[in-house]
Structures are given as C-alpha cells and as structure tokens.
Amino acid sequence: MNTSIYYDGDCPFCSDYVGFTRLRDAAGQVDLVDLRTDAAARDRFLARGADPDQGMIVETGGQVYHGADAMHVLSLMSSGQGLRNAAAAALFRHKTLARAVYPMLRMGRNAVVTAMGAAPLTARDAAREAQYLIFARFLGLFATLHVFYYLFRGAPGDVQPTAPVLFALGLGLIVVPGARALFIGLIAALALDGWLHAPTHSNHTMLLNFFVVTVIAAGGWHAWRGSPWDRFFADIRPVGRCLLLIMYTFGIFHKINTGFLNPEVSCAVVLWREMPAPLVWIDTAPMHYLAIYGTFAVEAVIMAMLILPRFRHWGICAGIGFHGLLALSGYAMYPVFSTLAIVLHTLFISPASAQAVTQSARWQGLDRALRSLPGAGLLLTGLAGIAFFAMQRDYTQVALIWMALVAWPLILLATKGAADPESDRTGAQFAAPLMVLNVIPVLFFLNAISPYLGLKNAQSMNMFANLRLEGGVSNHLVLPGAPGPFAYLSDVVEVTGIDGQPLIVRGYEDVRMGLVFSDFMALARRLDPATEVSFLRNGTAMGPMSAAEVLATQTGPQVPGWASRFVHFHPVILDRPRPC
C-alpha cells in the first residue's frame, strides 16, 4: 500500500512533523509531497473540497484524509518509536480528541506562516485582495495619526506605551499593505491602546473601538476555523459599513436641536470660522445657514448614495470629500477622524473598482515609490510636519500636509474606482455572514442613543452637535423630554468652590460648567477628606462641607466601578443656548 503525505513545505511545523513521523512497515512506501511545488496536486485537492491551507492531506488506500482526520490516520500508522512520535501518536489516535485539538494546532501553523510572510497555498481572489490592500493602506495611515492625536493633545496621561508600536506598525502597513502580520499586530496594538485609554471622550476612538472588536471577533473565529483571509474580510466589511452609516445617522440626528440651528452658537459656524483663507473670508449670515443646513443635506445624500450600489462610487467620493473639508477646520485635529472615516468608506468599494485601482500604473508606481528611499523619506517628512504643527496646535497646517499625503491614492479612488459598481450587488451588503458579528452595530447604535436614555453623554458619537440633555433639560427638537429611564444625566452639580477656589476643567474655562453627580462623587473621592467643597445641586445651594461629609451624606445615581471604563460623562455646559 502506498501512502502520500501532502504538506506545506514553507511551514516549519508541517515539515518538522513529517520529518519525525515514523510509520510502520505496514504503511508501505511513503511519499512526501510539498504542495508549494506541486501545483497539480493542489488543484486536484481543491477540486475535491480539501483546502491545503486548512490542514495536511494524506492519501492512502485510495482514500483522502484532510486536517484532523489526516493526523488521526497517520497516528494509526505510526510505529510510536521515539518520544515525540509516541506523544503525537497518542494525541491523535482518538478521532474525537484529534478533532478537538487540531484547530489549535492549525491556528499556530497559520500564525507562524503569516508571521513569516509566506503566501497561502491557495490562490487569493485578486479583486477581494485589492479591496483589502486599499483598506489596509489607509488603516496604516490612520494608526500613525492616532498616535499624534494622543501624543500632542497636551494631557500627559494620554500617552501610552502602545504609541511607538502603533506608529511603527502603521508606517509598515502604509508601505506594505499586503503584510498580514503587520495588520494582525496593528489590530492587537489598537485593542490594547483602546483599553489603556479608556475611558475616553473621543468620537474617533469610540468608533475605532467598535470596529477593532469586530476585527478581533471575526479574526478569532476564522483563525479557529482555518478560513481563508477572503472570508474573514468579507465578514468585517458589512459591519464596518453599518458602523459608518450609524455614524452618519447620528451625525444628523444629534444636530436636530436648538443649539446647532442657532448661528450664534452652532458648531457648524464655529468650525467654519476656523477654516483657512479664503474659505474663512466668507463669514456671512447666509454662509452660516448654509453651513448648518448644508451639513444635514450633505450627510443625508452621502448615506443614500452609499446604500445604493448604483451611486455608491459617488457616495464614497462625496463622503471622503466632506471629511476632507471638515479636516481643514483648525477647531480640532480632524484629520485623524477623517482618516478613520476614509478607512470605513473604503469598505464600500466594489471588487471590480478596487481591482481597477490597484492594477493601475499609478497605484503600482505609488507602491514602488513608498518602498524607495526618496519615497519613504517624503512620507516620513510629511508625518514629521504633521507632528510639528500638531504640537503647535495649528490644525489647519496639519490638514494641509495630511491632504498632500492622501491626495494621490484618493485621486486614484475617484478616477479609477467607478468600474462596474454592479459587481458589488452579490453577497452580504450590510449583514455579516458570521451572524454574531451583527450584534456589534446594534450595540454601537445603542451607544449612540445613550444620551437620550439618560445613560451617558460621552463616548456616544456626540459629533459636535450642541446637544444638551443634562439636568432635566433637552434642547432636541424631536425628543424634547428629559432623558430616561436612567437618571445619571438628570442629577447635575455646579461646584462653586473647593477651599474657596473655583473648579476649572481644561477646555471649559470660558463657560459655566457642572458635573453629573456620579463624576462629582468621583471628584470628592480624589480630594483630601478635610477639603471644603461648596456646590449647587440641581440649583440648590449646598455646603461648604468637607469632602468626607460629601461622601457620607450625598446620595444619588452613581456608575459602578466596574462600568467606569464604559459609562462616563463630559462636564456639563450650563450656559443657554449651549455653545459649541
């Protein structure tokens, strides 16, 4: 009886295993076939449904065994001589145990092969690979900017040990977007970074965290199953699309309030006044109303075009253009959020469009340029310029350099990305094939509506909306009632003095500011017990009393300690109308 063992010659585990396996004489002649060099064998097994990337293949007695079954058959043929051979034979001799253990071994094998940069044995879908390459390059750029966002905001505690790792991995992914190991490492680093920064008020970090959870959940499942990369990417795309659409939904809905519609305080006007010349010169009342109502119209049109495949390319272009314009405002460091928005917009690119982009001479020229010394130097110079102006808090200059960096790939998306939008009609559009992942957009939606539930006013995609829902007051025109059923936002404390000195919170120096009661009690716990505090609680004067007395006598809704990383609050701006 002849036995043939088909394995991945680039996998050190597979090569080592077939090297130490000793089969009984009854196995007859044993042929070891490296599937890296035998394309005909690969194709033959794929036609029979045996994916070589999901496990070793054994052919004996006219039967084909794959994965755990192959290891089981080999264990039955094993002579058991030698410690390693005996241990492997004992482990895989029982079919049920072999099938239980094998996924973990396969995960290890795939992780090592990926880290080594080896290509999969089965051919990649060129169109799906093109979609991934565009997505990964922009994700790499986002990671570098994400580091700058926290590095130069001015709060020392914002800098985490993950910063240099994120920067290095992000830079690597810009240059080599097809490097799977860089992508996996970056997602792991972003997950740790998100945990270390929690709780955070940043809109972009909240959106990022939900997407990172999606990638980790899908990646873990498909790594366990040994699925090809295409299937993993096909699962995260619909979820990322939904997250972006939910972001647009609440970018509109939160702004339906008296503050945003009031040109005297509207964030739309404030952001416009921070635009560079000559845009800032158009500072007229008609322009103010255009900025306010134009925001609603543009975001609604973008959403509609992204949903409809026929208009999707134009929705991608309009969405990227809108966020590019937003990035120009010097009010905040918007290029970080805008880059994340671009990352999610790339998930709407059709397979045919993506392939047209990446097969173009200009994209391939960009690849070559980034891998050359002059190209890498230009990239690093641009990022250094962004870092320099971010330190100066000159965010308009940051945006101008950012635009220079992203201009070339964005032009390619606009000019080459209109190829055959109908090719994206097949498959899941807004629902992941791995059904459990579809819970994540639902949770993101619930997070976004949390202010209207009275649950929290931070980490809920506030989107600079002038929204006021604290202290039993709502300025929303659709939901004018006090938020509920949770009472966290209803109980507001205005601290009038701490040992006779006013409480000043960074970023809120020029407005009347209060704290949700839960935050006020957290403040009291940080003070020396003897420190005297005077405050107004829901308009009623209290104190002065010591911090110890505050903790002993004041009762009200407080967030449990275990939930403090996820449910927390912005300081409450008490001025009316609520300024941006």
Whether the bond between 199 and the residue before it is cis, its omega within 30 degrees of 0, is yes
Boundary residue ending a domain (95, 116, 137): 116
Average pLDDT over residues 539-558: 91
Per-chain mean pLDDT for the chain: 87
Query: What is the residue range of 28's domain?
Result: 3-116
Asked whether residue 306 is assigned to any structural domain, the reply reads: yes
> What is the full DSSP assignment across 467-510?
----TT---BSS--SPP-S--GGG-EEEEEEETTB----TT-TT
Same domain (yes/no): 289, 188: yes
**Contact partners, residue 414, CB within 8 Å, separation at least 6:** 317
In a domain, 335, yes or no: yes
Strand order in the sheet with 30-34: 30-34, 3-7, 57-60, 63-66
Higher-confidence residue of 255 and 423: namely 255
Give the model confidence (pLDDT) of 97-141 as tens digits: 777 788 887 877 777 777 777 777 777 788 889 999 999 999 999
Are residues 246 and 176 both part of a single domain? yes
Contacts of 55 (CB under 8 A, 6+ apart): 66, 67, 68, 70, 71, 102, 106, 226
pLDDT surpassing 90 at residue 143: yes
Q: Is it the case that residue 74 has pLDDT exceeding 80?
A: no
Same domain assignment for residues 366 and 261: yes
| pLDDT of 35 above 50 | yes
Among 316, 339, 324, smallest CA distance to 414 is for 316
pLDDT one-digit tens code per residue, 264-287: 999 999 999 999 989 888 989 999
Same domain, 226 and 340: yes
Residues 112 and 136 in one domain: no
User: What confidence tier does 26 reach under pLDDT thresholds 50, 70, 90?
Assistant: very low
> 246 lies in a domain?
yes
Q: Are residues 235 and 319 in the same domain?
A: yes
Q: Are residue 73 and residue 142 in the same domain, yes or no?
A: no
Please state, for a pLDDT cut of 90, what percent of the chain lies above it.
51
pTM: predicted TM-score of the whole model, two decimal places: 0.88
Split at pLDDT 50, 70, 90, the class of 527 is very high
Residue 456 in domain: no
Residues 194 and 336 in one domain: yes
The answer to whether 517 touches 491, Cβ cutoff 8 Å, is yes
Is 165 found in the same domain as 87? no
pLDDT at 322: 94
Look at the chain and report how many structural domains it folds into: 3
111/135 same-domain check? no
pLDDT, mean of residues 154-176 = 85
66 and 146 together in one domain? no
Let me know if residue 420 belongs to a domain: yes
Q: Domain boundary residue among 447, 480, 501?
A: 447
Residue 323's nearest CA partner among 458, 444, 468, 204 is 204
Residues 205-234: tens digit of each pLDDT:
899 999 999 999 999 999 888 888 888 999
Name every residue whose Cβ is closer than 8 Å to that of residue 57 and which is 6 or more positions away in sequence.
Answer: 5, 6, 7, 35, 45, 50, 64, 65, 66, 70
Q: Are residues 96 and 61 in the same domain?
A: yes
Q: Let me know if residue 578 belongs to a domain.
A: no
| Cα dihedral value 517, 520, 522, 527, nearest 10 | -160
Give the range among 23-27, 99-103, 226-230, 293-297 with minimum mean pLDDT: 23-27
- Structural domain contains residue 580: no
Q: pLDDT category, 7, cuts 50, 70, 90? A: confident
Q: Kindly state whether residue 146 falls inside one of the protein's structural domains.
A: yes
Please identify, among 447, 480, 498, the residue that sits at the C-terminal boundary of a domain.
447
Please check the confidence at residue 403 and state whether its pLDDT lies above 80: yes
pLDDT range class, residue 25, cuts 50, 70, 90: very low
